[in-house]
Amino acid sequence: MAQDYYATLGVGRDATPEEIKKAYRKLARQLHPDVNDAPDASERFKEVTLAYEVLSDPSKRSMFDRGGDPMSSGGGFGGGAQGFNFDDIMDAFFGQNAQRGPRPRQQRGQDALLRLNVDLAEAAFGVTHEIKVDTAVTCTTCDGSGAANGSQPETCRTCHGHGDVQHVQRSLLGDIRTSRPCPTCHGFGTVIPDPCPECAGEGRVRSRRSLSVTIPAGVDQGTRIQLTGEGEVGPGGGPAGDLYLEINVARHPMFQRKGDQLFCQVTVPMTAAALGTQMDLPTLEADVPDSDEADRTVLLDVAPGTQSGDTITIKGHGVPRLRGSGRGDLKVQVVVETPSRLDDEQRALLEQLAALRDEQRPDALIGANHKGVFGKIKDAFK
């Protein structure tokens, strides 16, 4: 008496082919010996595979529904499983068929990455650069077809245009068929008997081209700019990939950048720090040739009594924001310079000042919380 194949798969006798296939996938995932080490897993896997072999074939299913056993003439499972397609097991584990049949010659090209060096002012205010790109472009001789003039791709005689070939392997489950890309046409289903002499059938050639690139204001170190469709053309003249530009910002001799803020240091004499002063401070616009003259400097107001390490903030003179409006600030750290050489008259004047301020022998300021000039400068950069 033949086994009840419907009961084996857990479906009713009126089950649709899709329901039968769905039930088999579920059971195959549970019972496959590679994922189930139960003692009876292998035998049960054979049973559900045999049941699916019968119920997925309309003629075998019809014979079974009439009371016959379509597998009896094969001498059990080994004979009945002849011709079993391994792709059904792959369906069970991956949920759908892998891509089969000929694949198109036209494929999307790869993305490309270039590093672009800019200075700080160019990164801050934006710039347009002309760059050279070595990449693959569509062959103009064959327009991407890969075939010489007057010729056309022909159907592969090995796979007859299917793009893959069948291999049969004996196993405990019977004959298992697997599909592999055709070694003659490499899965395309067609061959090019007369390749284009310029691209050797590839449909694309290497070439150097110029590209005008606009760098937006506010980019920073490591920023990547995507240029859609400016990468490599794909095989067979397929669509081009994207080109990515990674920004590398050169070190500036005066300014340091952190986000949208700029930092610099200014050294002032001891007397200027004590009495207060004003000075013209160069801005980042000074590095831009066509900038307005008035924007190239900003007035720095050093208040009387400014200490070494104090920070003066100048609003709106930092870096323009990349994804927003306005600019950051310019932060200036003041370093007070103490004279190291004095003539007699200068020494006498300082001694008079020290006497007036009762500072001939000042008390030392010692404490864990007291920060010197370098500590203040370090804190300003945090």
| Distance from C-alpha of 276 to C-alpha of 272, rounded to nearest angstrom | 5
| Residue carrying the six token digits 């892998």 | 98
| Distance from C-alpha of 169 to C-alpha of 162, rounded to nearest angstrom | 20
- Strand 190-191 versus strand 204-215 pairing type: unpaired
| Distance from C-alpha of 172 to C-alpha of 213, rounded to nearest angstrom | 62
Tell which residue, 290, 307, 300, 333, has the closest CA to residue 122: 290
DSSP string computed for 207-241: EEEEEEEEEPTT--TT-EEEETT-SPPBGGGBPP-
| Residue carrying the six token digits 């007070």 | 336
Per residue, what are the HEC states of 274-288?
Answer: HHCEEEEEECHHHHC
The answer to whether the beta carbons of residues 361 and 294 sit under 8 Å apart is no
DSSP string computed for 187-214: TSSEE-SSB-TTTTTSSEEEEEEEEEEE
Task: Tell me the residue type at 201.
Answer: G
Residue 196 marked ligand-binding:
yes
Residue 264 marked ligand-binding:
no
What sign does the CA torsion over 142, 143, 145, 150 have? negative
Tell which residue, 54, 65, 63, has the closest CA to residue 9: 54
| Distance from C-alpha of 272 to C-alpha of 315, rounded to nearest angstrom | 23
Cβ-based neighbour number of residue 176 at 10 Å:
18
CA 327 to chain centre: 29
| Distance from C-alpha of 335 to C-alpha of 302, rounded to nearest angstrom | 11
Tell which residue, 330, 338, 320, 339, has the closest CA to residue 265: 330
Known binding-site residues equal 139, 142, 156, 159, 182, 185, 196, 199
Known binding-site residues for Zn(2+) equal 139, 142, 156, 159, 182, 185, 196, 199
